[in-house]
């Protein structure tokens, strides 16, 4: 988890160094594509956290109804 956090921070820092301003990130094609990619990665990380902290423990405690949710979540990640 620390490595994922470090990658996000380094990516944000690189974006800031390349573009310099928030306005450039919002109004340039490059900045918009990078922001879209960041939003997609944030969504994937949210699904992964849901799997790890909610669904997997429920299955481990015998709630096999959570398996369908885990299947859907993994399908969405793919």
The predicted structure's pLDDT at residue 34: 84
Q: How far apart are CA 26 and CA 1, in angstroms?
A: 28
Question: pTM of this prediction?
Answer: 0.69
How many angstroms separate the first and last alpha carbons of the chain? 20
Provide the 3-class DSSP secondary structure of residue 1.
Answer: coil
How much of the chain exceeds pLDDT 70, in percent?
A: 100
Reported as a single tens digit per residue, the pLDDT across 19-51 is: 888 888 888 888 888 889 888 888 888 888 888
């Amino acid at each position: 988890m620390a490595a994922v956090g470090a990658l996000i921070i380094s990516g944000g820092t690189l974006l800031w160094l390349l573009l310099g301003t928030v306005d450039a990130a919002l109004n340039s094609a490059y900045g918009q594509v990078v922001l879209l990619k960041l939003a997609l990665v944030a969504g994937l990380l949210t699904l992964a956290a849901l799997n790890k902290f909610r669904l997997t423990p429920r299955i481990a405690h015998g709630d096999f109804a959570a398996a369908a949710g885990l299947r859907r979540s993994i399908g969405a990640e793919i």
